[in-house]
């Protein structure tokens, strides 16, 4: 599809995106819908340099999935009072919602399992066929799930995160490393992947407006990844790949949400079939883009503007960012993990300059 020439009338601001870590981001009079724009980005032919907030305008996390209530992470046409958050997830594990931090955790110190040897006898598997998908579809289709927005379904508790919820962190990391437990971990992850594919299939069946999925599996701390790339490739990547293969076969895009310093794991994210990763600020996102941006879309943190930067300095910084990180066939998104430079002048110049560049490159 041809990218239309830039029209200065596009700079008319029609609204602002909700702020996350900084000022609210302008929304301009784009020539295409948000759905078309984000789809084009995933297909590596962006209409302009997109901001990460633009790719997350329509987050979907429905309460039909018990994990979302347990985790206090509901984004859908119906809402719960936070007093109803927490409780049992899909496996019956109890989560405690902490209002001060806006999230839930399994209270540590009394794990459901301490090792993986007898998981088959202990784990009670959920039956997604019993969940009320029809009511969820009625509340969201054509309503919360807007047809002109790129709708992203967030799916919490990936493979390693699920293991932590059963075992606490120390036991989970030991199970991944312990050669005597690894065969049991493999068997559990294999069955877990079957379950996840079934649930994701239900999402696709009952919510046809979903365009992509963002699946969570944190692999790192502030300073380092939890396990070696070789271990992650052996223990987790094959199961992720089964899920991304399934989603891609259904025409859906796949983003991995994985917190921590995980530069070493980027090749594994690629092998696992993920289309996008939004690294946290402890990562050198510009180096990740340089090294791997042709294989996975990366959220890149711009260089900080100097204090009291003039408008022209702000605009020059915007053009420099676009020139460096909007390369043909190698797009990125501008990270929402650092938004101090997202002034109106910076964002306007980013949009106008990148729109012109995209049209010229088409």
**241 belongs to a structural domain:** yes
What total number of domains does the chain contain?
1
Tell me, yes or no, whether 307 lies in a domain: yes
Give the CA distances from residue 337 to residues 54, 143, 237, 299, in Å, rounded to whole numbers and listed in that order: 13, 29, 26, 9
Tens of pLDDT, residues 125-146: 999 999 999 999 999 999 999 9
Q: Is residue 141 part of a domain?
A: yes
The mean per-residue pLDDT over the stretch 168-181 comes to: 97
Whether 274 maps to a domain, the answer reads yes
Q: 1 in a domain, yes or no? A: no
Share of the chain above pLDDT 70, in %: 98
The pTM (predicted TM-score) of the whole model is 0.96
Does residue 2 belong to any structural domain of this protein?
no
259, pLDDT greater than 70: yes
Q: Quick one: average pLDDT of 10-23?
A: 83
**Helix, strand and coil in the chain, % to nearest 5:** 45, 15, 40
Domain CATH code at residue 21: 3.20.20.210
Q: What is the pLDDT of residues 81-114, one digit of tens each?
A: 999 999 999 999 999 999 988 899 998 899 999 9
Is there a domain that residue 252 lies in? yes
Q: Is the pLDDT of residue 19 over 70?
A: no
Q: Is the confidence at residue 1, as pLDDT, over 70?
A: no
Least confident residue range of 34-38, 53-57, 274-278, 293-297: 53-57
Distances (CA, A) of 196 to 116, 190, 192, 202: 20, 10, 6, 10
Q: What's the pLDDT tens digit per position in 199-256?
A: 999 999 999 999 999 999 999 999 999 999 999 999 999 999 999 999 999 999 999 9
Range of the domain at 128: 8-361
């Amino acid at each position: 599809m041809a990218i239309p020439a830039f029209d200065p009338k596009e700079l008319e601001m029609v609204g602002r995106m909700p702020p996350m870590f900084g000022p609210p981001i302008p929304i301009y009079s784009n020539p295409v819908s948000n759905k078309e724009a984000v789809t084009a980005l995933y297909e590596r032919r962006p209409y302009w340099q997109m901001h990460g907030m633009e790719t997350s305008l329509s987050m979907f996390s429905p309460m039909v999935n018990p994990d979302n209530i347990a985790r206090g992470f509901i984004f859908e046409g119906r809402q719960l009072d936070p007093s109803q958050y927490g409780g049992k997830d899909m496996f019956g594990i109890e989560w405690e919602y902490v209002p001060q931090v806006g999230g839930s955790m399994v209270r540590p110190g009394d794990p459901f399992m301490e090792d993986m040897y007898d998981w088959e006898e202990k784990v009670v598997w959920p039956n997604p066929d019993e969940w009320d998908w029809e009511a969820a579809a009625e509340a969201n289709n054509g309503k919360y799930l807007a047809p002109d927005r790129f709708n992203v379904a967030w799916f919490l508790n990936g493979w390693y995160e699920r293991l932590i919820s059963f075992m606490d962190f120390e036991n989970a990391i030991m199970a991944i490393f312990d050669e005597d437990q690894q065969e049991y971990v493999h068997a559990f992850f294999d069955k877990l992947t079957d379950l996840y594919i079934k649930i994701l299939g239900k999402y696709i069946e009952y919510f046809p407006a979903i365009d992509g999925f963002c699946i969570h599996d944190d692999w790192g701390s502030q300073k380092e990844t939890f396990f070696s790339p070789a271990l992650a490739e052996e223990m987790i990547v094959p199961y992720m790949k089964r899920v991304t293969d399934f989603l891609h076969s259904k025409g859906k895009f796949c983003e991995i949400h994985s917190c921590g310093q995980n530069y070493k794991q980027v090749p594994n994210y690629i092998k696992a079939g993920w289309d996008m990763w939004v690294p946290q600020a402890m990562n050198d996102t510009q180096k990740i883009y340089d090294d791997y941006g042709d294989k996975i879309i990366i959220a890149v943190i711009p260089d900080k503007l100097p204090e009291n930067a003039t408008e022209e300095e702000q605009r020059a910084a915007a053009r420099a960012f676009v020139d460096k990180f909007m390369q043909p066939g190698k797009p990125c998104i501008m990270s929402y993990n650092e938004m101090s430079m997202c002034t109106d002048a910076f964002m306007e110049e980013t949009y106008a300059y990148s729109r012109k560049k995209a049209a010229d490159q088409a």
